[in-house]
């Protein structure tokens, strides 16, 4: 999809993948033990959802390259945190290894797309015309 046809963050491929992955984590984490409710379950849901929330903020900060990159960096950090929680969930036998690998790979793709956006931020910035 061309950048010009994007109306909001929900049109971004990275947002779509991050949202789908967060929803998958939500469904899978319903099966985590109840004693993990306020630790792992809460944390993995929070970090996975935060990727999308920070993308929404980044989208609205495209007038300012520094602010845009900062929010994308927050997305990157939240995606990496989610990967860490995935590793813990597999090691604790809350997720089977194949499912863990699948979700982990999705977050590798998300991270790759975010890094590409950061490195090409000038293509995403809204350039306002200046009048005298």
Q: What is the CATH number of the domain that holds 82?
A: 1.20.1440.60
102 within a domain of the structure (yes/no): yes
pLDDT tens for the chain, 132 residues: list them: 445 577 888 889 999 999 999 999 999 999 999 999 889 999 999 999 999 999 999 999 999 999 999 999 999 999 999 999 999 999 999 999 999 999 999 999 999 999 999 999 999 998 776 554
Question: What is the C-alpha to C-alpha distance for residues 62 and 49, in angstroms, rounded to an integer?
Answer: 21
**pTM across the whole model:** 0.89
- Other beta carbons within 10 Å of 53: 17
99 within a domain of the structure (yes/no): yes
7 within a domain of the structure (yes/no): no
100 within a domain of the structure (yes/no): yes
Question: What is the C-alpha to C-alpha distance for residues 25 and 40, in angstroms, rounded to an integer?
Answer: 11
Res 4: pLDDT: 57
* Burial class of residue 106, CB neighbours in 10 A (0-12, 13-18, 19+): buried
12 within a domain of the structure (yes/no): no
8 within a domain of the structure (yes/no): no
4 within a domain of the structure (yes/no): no
Question: What is the C-alpha to C-alpha distance for residues 114 and 54, in angstroms, rounded to an integer?
Answer: 11
Q: Whole domain around residue 66: which residue ranges?
A: 23-123
Res 3: pLDDT: 52
**Domain count across the chain:** 1
- Other beta carbons within 10 Å of 47: 22
């Amino acid at each position: 999809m061309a950048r010009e046809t994007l109306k909001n963050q929900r049109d971004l491929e990275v947002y779509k993948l991050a949202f789908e992955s967060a929803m998958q984590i939500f469904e899978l984490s319903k099966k985590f033990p109840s004693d993990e409710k306020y630790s792992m379950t809460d944390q993995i849901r929070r970090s996975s959802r935060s990727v999308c929330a920070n993308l929404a903020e980044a989208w609205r900060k495209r007038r300012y390259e520094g602010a845009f990159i900062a929010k994308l960096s927050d997305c990157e950090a939240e995606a990496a945190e989610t990967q860490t929680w995935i590793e813990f969930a597999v090691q604790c036998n809350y997720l089977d290894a194949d499912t863990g690998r699948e979700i982990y790979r999705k977050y590798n793709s998300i991270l790759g797309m975010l890094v590409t956006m950061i490195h090409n931020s000038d293509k995403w910035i809204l350039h306002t015309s200046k009048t005298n």
